[in-house]
A = this chain, B = another copy of it.
Amino acid sequence: MSRNSRRLDQIRAVAERLFRDKGYLATSMRDIADEMHLRGGGSLYAHIKGKEDLLWSIANEATDAFFAALEAVCAQPATPYERLRAAIIAHLLVITQHLGAAAVYFDEWRHLTEPRRSQFMARRDAYEKQFQTLLEACVASGACHASDTRLATLHLLSAMNAMRHWYKPDGRLSAQQVAEALADMLLHGL
């Protein structure tokens, strides 16, 4: 799978970037081909079945990354507060490391057709439920005081995810620094 999947990975990398920059529908197969210095969109079909396959594999790349990061956090012994804070930082770091995939995970997934769309939503909902459980444990321990854990979870998740809109990999702060600062603002306010 050395040469073949390398070419496929190149296509996926280009698609990720264009889907984030312009959106899935505004990105044509010809756009992707151009960025790969191919003369026509047709050449891409030697490597993929169709455009939506790109969207689907990128969406799953993101989902897998979020789950893997959360499972690593939950495998460590920690207080509920420490675990929630670690989960927040881990989630934010995944976003910084997969900005293109994050754009698909948060925005472009809706252009998936059934049954993939529903499959995606189910995995995303399962992930969000795990985050709510972490938050509830934190409230039960007294470390957090959110009175409405459903509302707090919606806010926490959407606020974390919103970082994709402004984070720049070459900014003055490292990804780790930004993630820690954001975690502190989320947990303790401005």
Contact = CB atoms under 8 A, between A and B. Distances in A.
Contacts of A187: 189-190
Interface string A152-190: 101110110111011000000100001001100111111
Interface stretch (A3-11, A38-46, A57-65, A143-151): A143-151
A94 interface: no
A110 B154 contact: no
A162 B145 CA distance: 22
Contacts of A23: 23, 25, 110-111
Contact of A155 (B22, B111, B185): B185
B148 A158 contact: no
Given A26-B111, A107-B107, A154 B166 contact: yes
B26 A144 contact: no
A101 interface: no
A29 to B, nearest CB: 15
A55 interface: no
Contacts of A178: 151
Nearest to A107: B107
A127 to B, nearest CB: 15
A32 interface: no
A158 B163 contact: yes
Given A145-B190, A155-B182, A189-B189, 12 more contacts: A22-B110, A23-B25, A23-B110, A135-B190, A148-B181, A151-B181, A152-B190, A155-B162, A155-B163, A162-B162, A188-B188, A188-B189
5 contacts: A144-B189, A161-B162, A162-B162, A187-B189, A188-B188
Which 9 pairs of residues, A with B, have the shortest CB-CB distance?
A158-B162, A159-B159, A25-B25, A189-B189, A188-B189, A162-B162, A154-B166, A144-B190, A146-B190
